[in-house]
Amino acid sequence: MAKFILAMECDNAAFIDAVPNGVYTEVTVVLAGLIRDIMGRPVPDKGTDKGVLWDTNGNKVGEWLFRA
């Protein structure tokens, strides 16, 4: 069974200072970055693919993993 796993920390300044909707605004920005990163990327037939999530301040805030 294939799985997509995502973990994101939401307690740094980019999330706290985001306006107008605070943490949800920054979560949306980070997820949009994830979408840009994986669009067009080939899905592995076997094994895993992984990447890093970055906030608007350039800080690593999480990771994602696709396991085929």
For the chain, the structural domain boundaries read 3-67
How do residues 10-61 score in pLDDT, each as one tens digit? 999 999 887 778 889 999 999 999 999 999 899 888 899 999 999 999 999 9
Within 1-68, residue ranges assigned H as helices are 13-16, 23-38
pLDDT of residue 21: 81
pTM, two decimal places: 0.87
Query: How many Cβ atoms sit within 10 Å of the Cβ of residue 53?
Result: 20
Q: At residue 58, what are phi and psi to the nearest 5 degrees? A: 85, 15
pLDDT of residue 32: 97
pLDDT of residue 39: 94
